Amino acid sequence: MRVCRQLAVFVANRPGTLAQVSKILAQEGINILGLSVADAVDHAVLRLIVSDPNKAIHLLEDAGLLVLDTDVLALKLQNTPGNISKLSEALANENINIAYAYGGLDETNSEGTLYLKVSDTEKAKEVISKLAL
């Protein structure tokens, strides 16, 4: 488990927007490690975990995009039924809210990465470190 910086990029909700953002990053050798897209009527929010957040922020802001960054937990999970249930229950028992989560587990692989935005990152790290996931 680690804390990483997530970028929230506010973009137009139209075809080609993700292509534009990902091309800006790719041209500078920045890899996208995690991605979530939340849509609204007239805009979308791209949540990105990237290999070089500082550089990515500057590039995207230079392209005229609004970028906010925040800390999220990156948690490696074994691909076992019940792990997300165990995790979310342990956090709830400590009154830690999961604001949102994304990531995935491929059923053919043994583990994946789950990105979590929680109400108390430090307390969540303590709780999660005691779990066998």
Better pLDDT: 114 or 110: 114
Q: Which fold has domain 2-69?
A: VC0802-like (3.30.2130)
User: pLDDT tens, 53-112?
Assistant: 999 999 999 999 999 999 999 999 888 889 999 999 999 999 999 999 999 777 777 888
Matching fold, domains 2-69 and 72-129: yes
| CATH class for the domain made up of 72-129 | alpha beta
The DSSP line for 5-67 is: EEEEEEEESSTTHHHHHHHHHHHTTPPEEEEEEEE-SSEEEEEEEES-HHHHHHHHHHTT-EE
Predicted TM-score (pTM) of the model is 0.89
Structure tokens at 102: 């994304």
Q: Where do the structural domains in the chain lie, given as residue ranges?
A: 2-69, 72-129
> At a CB cut-off of 8 Å and minimum separation 6, what does 83 contact?
77, 133
